[in-house]
């Protein structure tokens, strides 16, 4: 029930916290946020499709429109926004008489809930991508994917760092930081576009996904190196070795463990007869793998991807696929719209002097960012006739991973304002340009892929 | 990515809040909570089914086992628990070195996220129940349902209040509060059991659901009266009139609005071609109705139920039904396990003297609670041969609604400890006894209902 003025606290406990008092208003805030997110994702996605762009681009743009750049309906405290910056909170205050202190705590609770839903969204997305990927196919292109990932980390890192130092006289530490930000690849955005184009299961698609996974692991290691460099001036070798070992152990271990878990999954799914007998055991596994990945300081989404890969090998995969689709449809847009909403396009405003300097640096970073990844397509060996441009373009979007690099750089004080702005602009541009570029690189989608995409929609 | 020691804050913003720093650990806490919830719900549900009880009873018991009564894996700050009471937080601290202040804020954020997920779970449950219910069927039994609801509010309220005053010498205000707590009916638990037994669409099922909805509205009005009595000693007539008018307007308005929205829903679902073209517009509508119900101080779940009823009238209902099932399978268990986890069975311990007095009061309240609702079955008119016992038993569970009454009574200071404990025990017992009783009242489920339930599972 909904008693905004009452304090809800069960029975023999005396503590009646402010959180409980505000619970119905926080719920109202989350409901409104979800309505905004779904409207933005659906209108953006459908418009994008009509204009012949991948729908996910429209979801990102929809997020920009409702987010910090324009309507301020969806803003987040970690970007420095307060309750008074949020149009949603203004709407809520219209319905409920809330004190100024309460509204800030409501805003933070609501934002945190939406962020957790977005995290669950990208976990479900990578689980679904794992389910759609084929472990044997991935192993076949594993060495190519590894080379693509390594080239895609080394080339933009060296070109970016050296260019900033020698062309723009940027000191070594910030130059290294900006170079590191160029190494990221957003597996979420790339894999979603591939899936929408019906190219996820192609050789190119599997190389891109494999390389993006490896890139994620490499990115974590690069960031650990750069962050310790920025903080202490030297590299924490122990941490780097720990990350390399734990990441390798996790990926190999999950595939080995998977063969065992496969059988028990099918067994329990057949034993269970109540509702959710397939999807709940699958989610327990996916969430467990995500937790393990998170606990050893990798990304949670890597665990979800591994879980999806493993369960793809079972007899239950078709039933599971079908049931995961609506869950993904509900949760994944929360992630993409949030990514868009967190982008602040005001860094593009050339009237601000700092932005002007940043824009010049940004042009350089964007060129390196695109070329440094596009060339990775030509590092693929032993696959004549493969679409090298598509592979290279598939590695271009930096997405949320790039924002994390920029955020850590900003927090550590290693980056000055113009360079921060330049990195943000690079991230925005590579993220938004990749979906249409990828569509272009693949040319017109093959007929069966189009049908498949239609059937899935 | 996952950088527990780093501060993540994008670019040109300087604010790096503690929330952002702890974000990966909060995520880890939510992932662990969900793993615990799904394990409890599935193991409990399957065991319950094997013992021939409705699965939802097992989910509630599973919640009790992992919750405040036993394992302390899932505890909530609004019940007075702190991070040190939570076994989950102890597990998290093993993986990450977190300061004592940080762990409390992580605990609160994680609990809040789980609570919001549980709220979304019961919203989706009532949306699904609305989709499974038939508006015309409900309208046919509307007058019977209204009588059942009114009798089910008046009979236990008068018997409970009078009994406490004259048999146990309880003062008038606490007696009225306890009497009010007896009026609640948990629509979530009742409708879930009906659905599991394959009786949701029967005449009895539709009368119970209709009566439970009306009971919810009556309950909100009763509580507003009682709460203002307890606080100021007099009834806030304006608030009561406001609630009656807004509730009626909402229910009638949503059905009228529904006829218009129906057409636009089918139109957009056909216009849209990207993924989620049916389920996202449906969710926008359901969340919007939930928000409106919440905003006019009704329960959010009433809005979700109305949205489901309305969309059940469209051509898209079969497709929508199918897609909502896996979403409900993932979200609904979070609600039931949380309800179980919030129950503290320590009030049943007769070694504590306060509990002994409470237990005696509880026996009286339980008798009134069961008889006062069971007799409602015999108030059904014009339906010869209807299963009156089943209707009466269907109104018995107090569930989360009863806990809210007890909580508000405790917070307002109107209830002393023994009476609080007695109400809690009454709520627990009526909630846990209703599923097997309902199964018994319906006798063996008809063959087609069993098949239907199997097919749905």
Band of residue B353 on the pLDDT scale cut at 50, 70, 90: confident
Specify which of A35-49, B89-103, B212-226, B291-305 reaches the highest per-range mean pLDDT.
A35-49
In this predicted structure, the answer to whether residue B262 has a pLDDT above a threshold of 80 is: yes
* B108–A19 CB contact, under 8 Å: yes
A3 and chain B: CB distance < 8 Å anywhere?
yes
CB-nearest to B10 from A10, A281, A410 is: A410
A97 and chain B: CB distance < 8 Å anywhere?
no
A90 and chain B: CB distance < 8 Å anywhere?
no
Band of residue B15 on the pLDDT scale cut at 50, 70, 90: very low
* SS3 labels along chain B: CCCCCCCCCCCCCCCCCHHHHHHHHHHHHHHHHHHHHHHHHHHHHHHHHHCCCCHHHHHHHHHHHHCCCCCCCCCCHHHCCCHHHCHHHHHHHHHCCCCHHHHHHHHHHHHHHHHHHHHHHHHHHHHHHHHHCCHHHHHHCHHHHHHHHHHHHHHHHHHHHHHHHHHCCCCHHHHHHHHHHCCCCCHHHHHHHHHHHCCCCCHHHHHHHHHHHHHHHHHHHHHHHHHHHHHHCCCCHHHHHHHHHHHHHHHHHHHHHHHHHHHHHHHHHHHCCCCCCCHHHHHHHHHHHHHHHHHCCCCHHHHHHHHHHHHCCCCCHHHHHHHHHHHHHHHHHHHHHHHHHHCCHHHHCCCCHHHHHHHHHHHHHHHHHHHHHHHHHHHCCCCCCCCHHHHHHHCCCCHHHHHHHHHHHHHHCCCCHHHHHHHHHHHHHHHHHHHHHHHHHCCCCCHHHHHHHHHHC
* B294–A31 CB contact, under 8 Å: yes
Band of residue B7 on the pLDDT scale cut at 50, 70, 90: very low
CB-nearest to B288 from A35, A299, A300 is: A35
* A6–B411 CB contact, under 8 Å: yes
A451 and chain B: CB distance < 8 Å anywhere?
no
In this predicted structure, the answer to whether residue B381 has a pLDDT above a threshold of 80 is: yes
- Mean pLDDT for the stretch of residues A290-297: 88
- The pLDDT assigned to B292 comes to 92
Contacts of B277 in chain A (CB under 8 A): 457
B75 and chain A: CB distance < 8 Å anywhere?
no
In this predicted structure, the answer to whether residue A17 has a pLDDT above a threshold of 50 is: no
Which has the higher per-residue pLDDT, A160 or B457?
A: A160
Band of residue A390 on the pLDDT scale cut at 50, 70, 90: very high
- Mean pLDDT for the stretch of residues B118-138: 88
- The pLDDT assigned to B229 comes to 77
- The pLDDT assigned to A136 comes to 81
- The pLDDT assigned to A327 comes to 97
Residue A422 to residue A403: CA distance in whole angstroms: 12
Cβ within 8 Å of residue A240, ≥6 positions away:
A221, A224, A225
- The pLDDT assigned to B162 comes to 95
Band of residue B449 on the pLDDT scale cut at 50, 70, 90: very low
* B11–A420 CB contact, under 8 Å: yes
- The pLDDT assigned to A340 comes to 85
| Domains of chain A, first to last | 133-324+347-443 (1.20.1530.20)
Give the pLDDT confidence of B384-424 residue by residue, as tens digits: 889 999 999 999 998 777 777 777 777 677 788 788 888 88
CB-nearest to B279 from A80, A294, A326 is: A326
The pTM (predicted TM-score) of the whole model is: 0.88
**Percent of chain B, pLDDT > 70?**
92
State the smallest CA–CA distance between residue A391 and chain B in angstroms: 23
In this predicted structure, the answer to whether residue A28 has a pLDDT above a threshold of 90 is: yes
Interface test with B, best of A5, A13, A31, A185 (most B CBs within 10 A): A31
Contacts with B, A 124-183, CB within 8 Å: none
State the smallest CA–CA distance between residue B381 and chain A in angstroms: 30
Which has the higher per-residue pLDDT, A220 or B392?
A: B392
In this predicted structure, the answer to whether residue B18 has a pLDDT above a threshold of 70 is: no
Give the pLDDT confidence of A44-99 residue by residue, as tens digits: 999 988 987 788 888 988 998 999 889 999 998 877 788 888 999 998 888 877 88
Which has the higher per-residue pLDDT, A299 or A371?
A: A371
Contacts with A, B 340-379, CB within 8 Å: 342, 344, 347
Q: What is the mean pLDDT of chain B?
A: 84
State the smallest CA–CA distance between residue B376 and chain A in angstroms: 23
Interface test with B, best of A326, A362, A402, A455 (most B CBs within 10 A): A326
State the smallest CA–CA distance between residue B351 and chain A in angstroms: 16
Residue of A nearest to B218 (CA): A1
Band of residue A444 on the pLDDT scale cut at 50, 70, 90: low
CB-nearest to B109 from A112, A297, A326 is: A112
A20 and chain B: CB distance < 8 Å anywhere?
yes
Interface test with A, best of B16, B17, B31 (most A CBs within 10 A): B31
Which has the higher per-residue pLDDT, B136 or B13?
A: B136
* B280–A12 CB contact, under 8 Å: no
Band of residue A313 on the pLDDT scale cut at 50, 70, 90: confident
Band of residue B3 on the pLDDT scale cut at 50, 70, 90: very low
Contacts of A329 in chain B (CB under 8 A): 275-276, 279-280, 323
In this predicted structure, the answer to whether residue A15 has a pLDDT above a threshold of 90 is: no
* B291–A417 CB contact, under 8 Å: no
- Mean pLDDT for the stretch of residues A312-328: 91
A401 and chain B: CB distance < 8 Å anywhere?
yes
* A2–B119 CB contact, under 8 Å: no
Contacts of B279 in chain A (CB under 8 A): 326, 329-330
A417 and chain B: CB distance < 8 Å anywhere?
yes
In this predicted structure, the answer to whether residue A124 has a pLDDT above a threshold of 90 is: yes
A195 and chain B: CB distance < 8 Å anywhere?
no
Contacts with B, A 209-248, CB within 8 Å: 216, 219-220, 223, 227
Residue of A nearest to B197 (CA): A274
- The pLDDT assigned to A21 comes to 65
Judge contact between B33 and B74, C-beta under 8 A: yes
* A408–B6 CB contact, under 8 Å: yes
Per mean pLDDT, which range of A95-99, A102-106, A124-128, B69-73 is the poorest? A95-99
A23 and chain B: CB distance < 8 Å anywhere?
yes
CB-nearest to B42 from A280, A288, A293 is: A280
* A42–B283 CB contact, under 8 Å: no
- Mean pLDDT for the stretch of residues A328-344: 90
- Backbone φ and ψ for B65, nearest 5 degrees, come out as -65, -40
- The pLDDT assigned to B20 comes to 56
The conformation of residue A170, written as its DSSP 8-state character, comes to -
For residue B240, count other CB atoms closer than 10 A to its CB.
15
Judge contact between A73 and B7, C-beta under 8 A: no
Give the closest residue to B430 by CA, choosing from B403, B408, B391: B403
Interface test with A, best of B48, B276, B417 (most A CBs within 10 A): B276
Chain Cα centroid distance, residue A457: 22
CB-nearest to A31 from B26, B115, B287 is: B287
Band of residue A362 on the pLDDT scale cut at 50, 70, 90: very high
* B410–A280 CB contact, under 8 Å: no
Q: How many Cβ pairs closer than 8 A exist between chain A and B?
A: 332
* A113–B108 CB contact, under 8 Å: no
- The pLDDT assigned to B154 comes to 94
A413 and chain B: CB distance < 8 Å anywhere?
no
Interface test with B, best of A9, A12, A73, A230 (most B CBs within 10 A): A12
CB-nearest to A20 from B78, B284, B330 is: B78
- Mean pLDDT for the stretch of residues B304-312: 89
Residue B108 to residue B81: CA distance in whole angstroms: 10
* A273–B49 CB contact, under 8 Å: yes
- Mean pLDDT for the stretch of residues B210-215: 89
Token pair of B248, please?
């009626």
Give the pLDDT confidence of A264-278 residue by residue, as tens digits: 888 888 889 888 999
- Mean pLDDT for the stretch of residues A12-23: 49
* A273–B457 CB contact, under 8 Å: yes
Per mean pLDDT, which range of B178-192, B229-243, B295-309 is the poorest? B229-243
- The pLDDT assigned to A5 comes to 30
């Amino acid at each position: 029930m909904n008693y905004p003025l009452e304090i809800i606290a069960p029975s023999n406990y005396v503590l009646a916290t402010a959180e409980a008092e505000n619970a119905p208003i926080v719920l109202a805030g989350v409901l409104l946020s979800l309505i905004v997110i779904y409207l933005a994702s659906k209108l953006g996605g459908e418009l994008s499709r009509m204009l012949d762009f991948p729908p996910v681009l429209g979801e990102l743009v929809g997020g920009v429109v409702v987010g910090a750049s324009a309507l301020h309906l969806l803003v987040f405290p970690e970007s420095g926004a307060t309750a008074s910056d949020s149009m949603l909170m203004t709407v809520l205050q219209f319905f409920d008489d809330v004190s100024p202190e309460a509204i800030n705590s409501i805003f933070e609770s609501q934002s945190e809930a939406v962020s957790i839903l977005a995290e669950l969204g990208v976990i479900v997305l990578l689980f679904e991508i794992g389910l759609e990927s084929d472990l044997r196919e991935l192993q076949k292109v594993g060495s190519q994917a590894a080379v693509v990932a390594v080239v895609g980390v080394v080339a933009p890192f060296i070109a970016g760092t050296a260019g900033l130092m020698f062309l723009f006289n940027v000191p070594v530490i910030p130059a290294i930081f900006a170079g590191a930000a160029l190494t990221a690849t957003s597996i979420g955005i790339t894999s979603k576009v591939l899936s929408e184009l019906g190219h996820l299961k192609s050789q190119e698609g599997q190389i891109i996904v494999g390389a993006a996974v490896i890139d994620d692991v490499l990115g974590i290691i690069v960031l650990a190196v750069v962050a310790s460099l920025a903080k202490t001036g030297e590299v924490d070798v122990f941490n780097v070795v720990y990350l390399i070992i734990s990441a390798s152990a996790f990926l190999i271990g999950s595939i080995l463990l998977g063969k065992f878990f496969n059988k028990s999954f099918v067994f329990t799914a057949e034993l269970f007869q109540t509702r959710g007998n397939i999807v709940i055991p699958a989610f327990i596994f996916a969430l467990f793998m995500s937790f393990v990945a998170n606990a050893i300081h990798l990304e949670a989404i890597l665990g979800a991807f591994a879980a999806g890969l493993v369960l793809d090998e079972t007899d239950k995969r078709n039933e599971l696929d079908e049931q995961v689709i609506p869950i993904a449809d509900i949760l994944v847009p929360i992630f993409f719209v949030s990514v868009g909403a967190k982008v602040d396009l005001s860094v593009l405003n050339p009237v601000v002097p700092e932005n002007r300097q940043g824009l010049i640096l940004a042009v350089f970073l964007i060129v390196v960012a695109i070329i440094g990844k596009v060339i990775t397509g030509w590092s693929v060996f032993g696959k004549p006739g493969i679409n090298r441009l598509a592979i290279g373009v598939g590695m271009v979007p930096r997405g949320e991973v790039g924002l994390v690099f920029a955020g850590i750089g900003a927090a550590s004080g290693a980056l000055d304002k113009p360079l921060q702005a330049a990195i943000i602009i690079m991230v925005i541009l590579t993220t938004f340009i990749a979906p249409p570029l990828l569509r272009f690189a693949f040319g017109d989608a093959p007929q069966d892929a189009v049908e498949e995409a239609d059937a899935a929609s």
